[in-house]
Chains A and B, each alone.
Chain A
């Protein structure tokens, strides 16, 4: 596979995200252009305040750039209405958060199915898919447990299953291992490695160098701009240090 044969999944074209704080104008993303290709596993790193979360929010279509355009799986988002953007999220994107963010009143199975619930035309086999995913992340026996009855690692597994249920084009994770002890974090990272091996596209924001090491490629930010791009092997199935 050559550089030219990369299929773009997420394309940022001169994206700017400005925050106005009184008199000051903060540029969380500054004329940012970058392309994430299909099947790639990226770690986004950088110092605090460099714009990592902002980038991930833009990639996840929950934040709108103030300038430029962002294309996800070929769809240009700059002119989409709020509802259309929501539909893009429920079809194309999968989120894994630092603090798991499961919905407390729903059980494991229901939590996994949430993204399907919001699709305009939900698939018929949603529940079956959710069960398979629960099995895959090792929670087949806890389908009717509520999030409060699970450990942090188990909750994050549910969150990963939820991020996969809509078969997204892009999986986004912000500090997904930040709240976990190192053993559990390793399990979660192993899960990401598996997903990568299956050919899924992953963008993972992290502070920790060893987490960054495990990813295929590393993108470093500084003050809302790209500081460096470090590419690893092309098709590194289960890329390890």
Chain B
């Protein structure tokens, strides 16, 4: 009996709302947009932060990365009129100090970058060519997809071999397998012995090749032997000579708890030994923590926006409901005269509010789920819809209906039946 009473009340509520279709629709808009924007923004924010965190994680949360950076012009050494020679950056000495004297360090990997173009037949690419040790793969968590990575024999034999990243191999070898092929780095030929998986799955297609994630690895000794420390860099039309011993040092820390300690030790050491600030220190763990903090703040801001928009939606419903109650005063009087108890009147109007807000909530969930798909498709942004977001948004929007319906419903129920009947 109880069940059929509820069904009847809901049916009645819907039929009353359908008497004023446009008004009911407009009333739900507040809740609709509130709900959908919360879901959409959460999905976009979650996607962005997930992407950022994945990038940081791939740098290795146990790693401290030291990088050479070109100092600002006014500190630059050398500087003849004809050819400028810039000498800066991390040195073999820095590497030695970290490897030998720092406690808590597991492995240290040097990286040299070679400023050369890479060619295969008529295809040309400007990847990051890195001369490094075999252990680089392990420390930075790269995964071999085909063939193998660099080995100690390559290193000892100063072999002319190379490993291509997914991006690089896909551009240079769109159809065939690159393994065993000879590619040209600058003026020399190298045999491709392996490929690595792409790091961050990026949606950029061929147009993006030659950018960030295309990498070519060669043995450290090979790089040292053929290219030396002095390299010519073509930049914005002008020629520059650069002298850099090491472009990057990746320090792997044994215990994740000591990452900060090691990072500070590196900072101290470099400060003491470098006259100019020609290096930077990247601590992925710190970045990760900062990213998490940013995400937390983002969620708080989002939560406030969401509550404000739902509040506004709720006030909209209350406003319309108060007008409806006044408009239907006579109906309330009739129902009371025919035996309706106060709770019947309360539930009648409360049900209408809940139907409005649940309707708005459902439409909002639908719109909120659709928006990230559109964003993902057109803006090439990753979005993540966590299952809690739509459920929570829906529950809150229904709650808003009840909360903001209480007052109008109470007003309706406490009317004097005689006065209500007399109402025009």
Beyond A82-B342, A95-B337, A106-B12, 19 additional pairs, beta carbon < 8 A: A60-B337, A62-B337, A62-B421, A63-B417, A82-B341, A83-B343, A86-B336, A86-B339, A86-B341, A89-B337, A91-B339, A95-B338, A97-B334, A97-B421, A101-B334, A102-B334, A105-B16, A118-B338, A118-B340
For residue B410, give the distance in angstroms from its CB to the closest CB of chain A.
14
Docked pose: A103 CA to B335 CA in angstroms? 8
The answer to whether A105 touches B15 (Cβ under 8 A) is yes
Closest A residue to B334 by beta carbon equals A101
Docked pose: A115 CA to B330 CA in angstroms? 16
Query: Is A114 at the interface (CB under 8 A from chain B)?
Result: yes
Residues of A within 8 A of B15 (CB): 105-106
Contact A103:B331 (CB < 8 A) given known A87-B341, A91-B339, A95-B337: yes
Contact A117:B336 (CB < 8 A) given known A101-B330, A101-B421: no
Closest B residue to A116 by beta carbon equals B339
The answer to whether A62 touches B331 (Cβ under 8 A) is no
Query: Is A33 at the interface (CB under 8 A from chain B)?
Result: no
Q: Identify which of A57, A90, A101, A118 contacts B418 (C-beta below 8 A).
A: A57
B: which residues have CB within 8 A of A? 1, 5, 8, 12, 15-16, 19, 330-331, 334-344, 417-418, 421
Closest A residue to B5 by beta carbon equals A117
Closest A residue to B331 by beta carbon equals A103
Query: Is A35 at the interface (CB under 8 A from chain B)?
Result: no
Residues of A within 8 A of B340 (CB): 86, 90, 118
Contact A105:B335 (CB < 8 A) given known A62-B418, A83-B342, A117-B8: no
Closest B residue to A124 by beta carbon equals B1
Q: Identify which of A57, A97, A105, A119 contacts B339 (C-beta below 8 A).
A: A119
Contact A62:B334 (CB < 8 A) given known A82-B342, A97-B421: no
Query: Is A162 at the interface (CB under 8 A from chain B)?
Result: yes
Docked pose: A117 CA to B12 CA in angstroms? 12
List, sorted by A's number, 12 A–B pairs whose CB atoms are closer than 8 Å: A82-B341, A86-B336, A89-B337, A89-B338, A89-B339, A90-B340, A97-B421, A101-B421, A103-B335, A114-B335, A115-B339, A118-B340
Residues of B within 8 A of A114 (CB): 335, 338
- Rank and list the top 4 A-B pairs by shortest CB-CB distance, nearest first: A90-B339, A118-B339, A62-B417, A86-B341
Docked pose: A104 CA to B5 CA in angstroms? 20
Residues of B within 8 A of A115 (CB): 338-339
Contact A87:B334 (CB < 8 A) given known A105-B12, A105-B19, A117-B8: no
For residue A228, give the distance in angstroms from its CB to the closest CB of chain B.
27
Closest B residue to A100 by beta carbon equals B334
Docked pose: A6 CA to B297 CA in angstroms? 81
For residue B86, give the distance in angstroms from its CB to the closest CB of chain A.
83
The answer to whether B331 touches A87 (Cβ under 8 A) is no
For residue A18, give the distance in angstroms from its CB to the closest CB of chain B.
14
Closest A residue to B422 by beta carbon equals A53
Residues of B within 8 A of A106 (CB): 12, 15
The answer to whether A162 touches B338 (Cβ under 8 A) is yes
Docked pose: A122 CA to B339 CA in angstroms? 12
Binary per-residue interface labels of chain A (30-70) against chain B in the complex, 1 for a CB within 8 Å, 0 otherwise: 00000000000000000000000000010010110000000
Residues of B within 8 A of A83 (CB): 341-343
Contact A118:B421 (CB < 8 A) given known A101-B334, A105-B16, A105-B19: no
Residues of B within 8 A of A95 (CB): 337-338
Closest B residue to A91 by beta carbon equals B339
Of the listed residues A102, A105, A115, A166, the one surrounded by the most CB atoms of chain B closer than 10 A to its CB is A105
Residues of B within 8 A of A162 (CB): 338
Residues of B within 8 A of A166 (CB): 339
Of the listed residues A60, A86, A106, A118, the one surrounded by the most CB atoms of chain B closer than 10 A to its CB is A86
Q: Identify which of B1, B331, B338 contacts A104 (C-beta below 8 A).
A: B331
Closest A residue to B344 by beta carbon equals A118
Docked pose: A86 CA to B19 CA in angstroms? 28
Of the listed residues B19, B339, B417, B421, the one surrounded by the most CB atoms of chain A closer than 10 A to its CB is B339
The answer to whether A118 touches B12 (Cβ under 8 A) is no
Residues of B within 8 A of A104 (CB): 19, 331
